[in-house]
Amino acid sequence: MQASRARLFKEYKEVQREKSADPDIQLVCDDSNIFKWTALIKGPSETPYEGGVFQLAFAVPEQYPLQPPQVRFLTKIFHPNVHFKTGEICLDILKNAWSPAWTLQSVCRAIIALMAHPEPDSPLNCDSGMWTLFWYRLVEFISRYYPSVIMGIKS
């Protein structure tokens, strides 16, 4: 537990030092419990989430950084890899692909990347997953066949 406290304290100092380095992420440690953190992340540009601010809750285990933190959205979000009711996030680095090299800050960056590039093949929100897959396939279809139809080109 001492190692995890030391690591979290190091991350806390780094977050304080680099507050302006990443304007899309604001990480805050609970004053009374270093194992509880919250984050505000900005929705990625050119996505349906652009302009939004989303709150995350981190529950860091005593075995951190050997085990990943539990992270969930507190802000409701319609996304294929986020459970709509609980805010649970389906992201490999929070499960089997975790590495002690990850930090809470880099986890936030990975979540922002997931918001921009959902994985509809492994949805927690099936409705959103189906819509996302539908739109991907529609864009693929239009990209492939629309120029041929407009230009009168036959394949």
pLDDT tens digits, 29-63? 999 999 999 999 999 998 888 999 999 999 999 99
pLDDT tens digits, 65-98? 999 999 999 999 888 888 889 999 999 999 999 9
Q: Provide the pLDDT for residue 19.
A: 74
The answer to whether 90 is a known catalytic residue is yes
Fold of 2-125: Ubiquitin Conjugating Enzyme (3.10.110)
Is residue 118 within 8 A of residue 76, CB to CB? The reply is no
Domain ranges of the chain: 2-125
From 29, 90, 108, 126, the catalytic residue: 90
Give mean pLDDT, residues 132-155.
Answer: 56
Who's near 118: CB < 8 A, 6+ residues apart?
79, 80, 81, 128, 129, 132
